[in-house]
Amino acid sequence: MSALIEVKHLKKYFKTATGMLHAVDDVTFSIPKGQTLGVVGESGCGKSTLGRTVLGLLDSTDGEIYFEGENITNVSHEKFHDLRRKMQIIFQDPYSSLNPRMSVGDIIAEPLQIFNLCPDKAEREQKVKELMDVVGLDQRFINSYPHELDGGRRQRIGIARALSLDPKFIVCDEPVSALDVSIQAQILNLMQDLQEQKGLTYMFITHNLSVVKHISDNIMVMYLGQMVELCGAKELFANNLHPYTKALLSAIPHPSIREKHERIILKGEISSPINPKPGCRFAARCNYATEECFKRDPELRECTPGHFVACHNVEAING
């Protein structure tokens, strides 16, 4: 299957008062058309910065980004404007990402106006109503304001707005994290249905592994700006190989009280992403760290077909 998105050795650094913050550091992956890449990791691991850099909302420091085979790294303002139609984002907090002074209808119609896609007002209103139907938002809310609706309905507005330009690729940045669990399931089902109907490609960013399990084809685990493990979603849950992934997965609440479930508690300080020292960034918290881990960066290696891990001791750890 051909890749819609290809990212090669992408870096995004920020200058700070104390040095260079390596928010995204040498990340490489691709997403085939119509598939979902889940991106997981703790807060501050660089996953949201990665999504925004791929979308061109942040300029990259180094590396390349391809969309449908074309290099779109740091493109011109005009080109970026065209790309914006094809590449959209859904934000975490549907309340703060929506303009409180605009009605639901105006919020959904705004991208159509910016791109001059439906200049006729009646036609535009019809398109907005169609989009509300697509995302399961009752048309009676067209003149309501975001604060009058619950979190699930507000996120449906965000999704309708993202869909209004008929995109091919959507970065979903923690799209259900601010919602109640029952509403989360509804929004996830909606996103999966839309993906099937419209052939959408998603990059689904979350800190919640149980959410990403059901929606992803592949999952990338990030730690302090770097990719530490990448493989199929089922493979990650059945046969995770990196010590950090094991700790993350062990933190998922287990439904069965009969099954023994040992949580791995990470100890030690999180290393600083500012001017990071050579060596594995997880070393200070890793139970398996050896001398080499503090001296040399682990390379990302394909341990089994399609399963990539960055760890010096992966074989020894996994027998």
- As given in the structure block, the two tokens for residue 246 are 């094991």
Contact letters (x/-) for ligand SF4, 184-223, by CB under 6 A?
----------------------------------------
Q: Is 288 in the site for ligand SF4 (CB under 6 A)?
A: yes
Q: Is 298 in the site for ligand SF4 (CB under 6 A)?
A: yes
Least Cα distance to 67 among 87, 85, 39, 51 occurs for 87
Of 53-61, 139-147, 177-185, 306-314, the segment contacting ligand SF4 by CB under 6 A is: 306-314
Q: For 200-220, give one letter per residue: b (16+ CB within 10 A) or e.
A: bbbbbbbbebebbbebbbbbb
Report in angstroms how near the CB of residue 209 gets to ligand SF4 at its nearest: 18
Residue from the set 177, 250, 272, 313 that interacts with ligand SF4 by CB under 6 A: 313
Q: Is 243 in the site for ligand SF4 (CB under 6 A)?
A: yes
Residue from the set 286, 300, 303, 308 that interacts with ligand SF4 by CB under 6 A: 286
Q: At 236, phi and psi to the nearest 5?
A: -65, -40
Q: Is 283 in the site for ligand SF4 (CB under 6 A)?
A: yes
> What type of residue is 131?
L
Q: Is 230 in the site for ligand SF4 (CB under 6 A)?
A: no
- As given in the structure block, the two tokens for residue 289 are 């760290």
Q: Is 47 in the site for ligand SF4 (CB under 6 A)?
A: no
C-alpha pair distances (Å), 21 with each of 45, 60, 292 = 11, 13, 24
Q: Is 311 in the site for ligand SF4 (CB under 6 A)?
A: yes
How far is Cα 65 from Cα 62, in angstroms, rounded to an integer?
10
- Report how many residues bind ligand SF4 under the rule CB under 6 A: 12
Residue from the set 29, 169, 202, 282 that interacts with ligand SF4 by CB under 6 A: 282
Q: Is 248 in the site for ligand SF4 (CB under 6 A)?
A: no
Report in angstroms how near the CB of residue 287 gets to ligand SF4 at its nearest: 8
Complex with ligand SF4: residue 156 or 312, whichever CB lies closer: 312
User: Are 248 and 45 within 8 A, CB to CB?
Assistant: no
Complex with ligand SF4: residue 40 or 203, whichever CB lies closer: 40
Q: Is 61 in the site for ligand SF4 (CB under 6 A)?
A: no
Complex with ligand SF4: residue 38 or 298, whichever CB lies closer: 298
Q: How many CB atoms lie within 10 A of CB 169?
A: 21
Q: Is 13 in the site for ligand SF4 (CB under 6 A)?
A: no
Say what the alpha-carbon torsion angle 156, 159, 161, 167 is, to the nearest 10 degrees.
Answer: -160
Q: How many CB atoms lie within 10 A of CB 236?
A: 27
User: Are 47 and 39 within 8 A, CB to CB?
Assistant: yes
Helices 151-163 and 181-198, packing angle to 10 deg: 20
User: What is the Cα gyration radius of the chain?
Assistant: 21
Residue from the set 134, 293, 300, 303 that interacts with ligand SF4 by CB under 6 A: 293
Binding site for ligand SF4 (CB under 6 A): 243, 280, 282-283, 286, 288-289, 293, 298, 311-313
